[in-house]
Amino acid sequence: GAVVSQHPSRVICKSGTSVKIECRSLDFQATTMFWYRQFPKKSLMLMATSNEGSKATYEQGVEKDKFLINHASLTLSTLTVTSAHPEDSSFYICSASAIAGGLPDEQFFGPGTRLTVL
Amino acid sequence: ELKVEQNPLFLSMQEGKNYTIYCNYSTTSDRLYWYRQDPGKSLESLFVLLSNGAVKQEGRLMASLDTKARLSTLHITAAVHDLSATYFCAVPLYNTDKLIFGTGTRLQVFP
Partner-chain contact A105 B98, CB within 8 Å: yes
pLDDT at A105 over 70: no
For residue range B52-69, list pLDDT tens digits in order.
Answer: 888 999 999 999 999 999
Which of A44, A47, A91, A113 should be substituted to probe chain B, the one whose Cβ sees the most B Cβ atoms within 10 Å? A44
**Strand B19-25, strand B4-7: pairing:** antiparallel
Residue A99 has pLDDT above 80, yes or no: no
Residue A53: per-residue pLDDT: 81
Percentage of residues of chain A with pLDDT beyond 70: 93
For residue B46, give every residue at least 6 positions away whose Cβ sits within 8 Å of its Cβ, in sequence order, or none: B34, B35, B36, B58, B61, B63, B74, B87
pLDDT in tens, A27-84: 888 889 999 999 988 999 999 999 888 889 999 999 999 999 998 899 999 999 999 9
pLDDT at B107: 97
Give me the residue from A43, A93, A114 closest to B102, CB to CB: A43
Please give the pLDDT value at position A100: 59
The answer on pLDDT for B90 being more than 90 is: yes
The predicted pLDDT at position A87 comes to 95
Mutate to test the interface with B, among A32, A47, A107 (most CBs of B within 10 A): A107
Q: CB within 8 A of A91, min separation 6: which ones?
A: A37, A38, A39, A40, A112, A113, A114, A115
What would the mean pLDDT of B36-48 be, rounded to a whole number? 93
**Share of residues in chain B with pLDDT > 90 (%):** 81
Contact between chains at A46 and B97 (C-beta distance less than 8 A): no
Q: What is the pLDDT of residue A59?
A: 94
Q: Which residues contact B69 (CB under 8 A, 6 or more apart)?
A: none
DSSP assignment string, B71-107: EEEEEE-S--GGG-EEEEEEEEPTTSS-EEE---EEE
Confidence (pLDDT) at B28: 86
Residue A93, phi then psi, degrees to nearest 5: -125, 135
> What digits encode the pLDDT tens for the residues A9-23?
999 999 999 999 999
